[in-house]
């Protein structure tokens, strides 16, 4: 009889080991960014930008995982869906480090917080509320506690709110640097991929018309 070989996983690290790997890399990146800068304040500022980028990449992976699994079925896209919860938790960890760095920068640069307005802090504050809610409900115990429907509604809403905040944050910085066009384009492309993936998934669920 012919023997079948199991398809090797696309990710060598899985589950909590994947989360731990990403968390260590984020911390290592943060430490190196701060230490390699001769000025502590500027080093922390650079680390804020670095963790913003790492959070953005991790969010894009979690945001588009299910869509890519439908549109481009492959071991990699299937692995992304399987590990989406841990990628999402890694995103929350990266953004937690980002928040700690912002607080540290505010302590080092006393002009930082007085220079910000309440309105300007609203998008980031809303974003962190959703990051916290999504992270807390990414465990089986909390999923059972709130129920499957509420969990799905929360995570769907949360992902779209975070996508909108990322888009807005990059859009408003374009006058500061043309480089912000790139992340804005990426989040717009990710939005299109997710919408097309949802449409393709919905079409697959529709029953085929009966033939006479």
- Residue 41 confidence class, pLDDT cut points 50, 70, 90: very high
Residue 184 lies in a domain: yes
Residue 8 lies in a domain: no
The pLDDT value given to residue 4: 47
User: Each residue of 82-116: pLDDT tens digit?
Assistant: 999 999 999 999 999 999 999 999 999 988 888 88
Domain that holds residue 169: 16-114+132-202
The pLDDT value given to residue 10: 61
Torsion of CA 86, 189, 102, 117, to 10 degrees: -140
- What distance in Å separates the CA atoms of residue 53 and residue 1, rounded to the nearest whole number? 51
Residue 4 lies in a domain: no
DSSP states along 118-133: HHHHHHHHHHHHHHHH
User: Each residue of 126-184: pLDDT tens digit?
Assistant: 999 999 999 999 998 888 889 989 999 999 999 999 999 999 999 999 999 999 999 99
Residues 6+ apart with CB under 8 A from 99: 128
The pLDDT value given to residue 203: 76
Residue 127 lies in a domain: no
Number of structural domains found in the chain: 1
- What distance in Å separates the CA atoms of residue 151 and residue 114, rounded to the nearest whole number? 38
Mean pLDDT of the chain: 89
Residues 6+ apart with CB under 8 A from 104: 44
């Amino acid at each position: 009889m012919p023997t079948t070989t199991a398809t090797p996983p696309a990710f060598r690290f899985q589950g909590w080991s994947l989360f731990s790997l990403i968390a260590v890399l984020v911390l290592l990146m943060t430490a190196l960014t701060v230490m390699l800068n001769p000025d502590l304040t500027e080093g922390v500022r650079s680390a804020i930008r670095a963790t913003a980028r790492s959070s953005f990449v991790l969010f894009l992976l979690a945001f588009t995982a299910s869509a890519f699994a439908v549109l481009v079925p492959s071991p990699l896209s299937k692995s992304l869906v399987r590990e989406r919860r841990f990628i999402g938790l890694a995103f929350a960890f990266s953004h937690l480090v980002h928040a700690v760095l912002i607080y540290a920068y505010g302590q080092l640069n006393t002009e930082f917080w007085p220079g910000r307005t309440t309105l300007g802090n609203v998008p980031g504050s809303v974003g962190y509320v959703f990051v916290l809610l999504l992270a807390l409900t990414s465990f089986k115990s909390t999923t059972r506690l709130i129920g499957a429907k509420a969990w799905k509604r929360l995570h769907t809403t949360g992902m779209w709110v975070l996508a909108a905040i990322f888009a807005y944050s990059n859009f408003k910085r374009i006058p500061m640097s043309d480089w912000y066009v790139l992340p804005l384009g990426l989040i717009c492309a990710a939005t299109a991929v997710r919408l097309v993936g949802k449409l393709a998934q919905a079409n697959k669920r529709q029953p085929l018309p009966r033939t006479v």
